[in-house]
Structure 1
């Protein structure tokens, strides 16, 4: 019996390595790594990210006093504007898109594995719509959640 369990475990480990290798060789991983490298090598992104880090430190300092700090509104607006500027850059948007595609692939693989074991296993996702859809909760309260029925 123990030999059979060892063989099953060994086979499972080998197949998990094969799956991880397939994921690492996927188009999604390749596109993610390329987009990440392009973003990290972009001079303007580097400059803005450095500026953002400094502004974020200033923001954290004024946060201690909240709206009572004399520079609160000014610093908060600067941080939001800088973040918006960075996120609007084409190279950053390409990275975010590649990141989302890779996240979707990883979620689908995890969901498939979880469903093979049990439909009730929760699989975390960065997309809240996927989590609700896969949890079986249609917000009707039948799953036992605290959503109130009308």
Structure 2
């Protein structure tokens, strides 16, 4: 590929866009909550417990309900997951992470639409996406869902 002035301008503008995103309030909040999460000893202990329980859970799931500890491990896993979800710094981090992901998805959609409305942009789980069928249907927009 030969570097043209247009290509260099696109690259420079994309780097500028990345800088703007990194300096946005959403990205700064994400970095702040990630730092707080990494410094939260209780949260780190819960995460470590969850990783250990996850390994145990995956082992039990190999055999399903026939494993002797299936019900106990499944119950412990649900309880630990609930503790994780309700822990303040973990919840704040997940919220900030979702906000940053939404921003990046919206920017991706804007860029793709500027080129063509038929470009598919992965926006995560379409069930939770608040916009209906934004190119995720896999047929290039010919379904008429837009």
Q: TM-score, normalised on structure 1?
A: 0.83
Distance 1:126 1:34 in 2: 24
* Residue in 1 that maps onto 2:81: 83
Task: Assess if the C-alpha contact under 8 Å between 1:136 and 1:143 holds in 2.
Answer: no
Task: Assess if the C-alpha contact under 8 Å between 2:123 and 2:136 holds in 1.
Answer: no
Unaligned runs of 5+ in 1: 146-150
- Residues 97-148 of structure 1, C-alpha deviations (whole Å, 9 max, x = no match): 11111111111111110000000111111352246342387xxxx7189xxx
* Residue in 1 that maps onto 2:132: 132
Structure 1 runs (4+) greater than 6 angstroms displaced: none
Task: Assess if the C-alpha contact under 8 Å between 1:28 and 1:98 holds in 2.
Answer: yes
- Aligned pair 1:62/2:74, yes or no? no
- Residues 57-113 of structure 1, C-alpha deviations (whole Å, 9 max, x = no match): 111221221110110010011011101111111111111111111111111111110
* Residue in 1 that maps onto 2:22: 24
* Residue in 1 that maps onto 2:113: 115
Structure having the larger proportion of residues in helix: 1
Matches within 5 A, 1:88-99: 88-99=86-97
- The alpha carbon displacement at 1:11 in A equals 0.8
Secondary structure of the residue aligned to 1:73 is helix
Distance 2:11 2:135 in 1: 27
Distance 2:60 2:81 in 1: 18
Unaligned runs of 5+ in 2: none
Task: Assess if the C-alpha contact under 8 Å between 1:122 and 1:135 holds in 2.
Answer: yes
Query: Compared with structure 1, are the counterparts of its residues 30 and 43 closer, same or farther at alpha carbon in structure 2 (3 Å cutoff)?
Result: same
Secondary structure of the residue aligned to 1:74 is helix
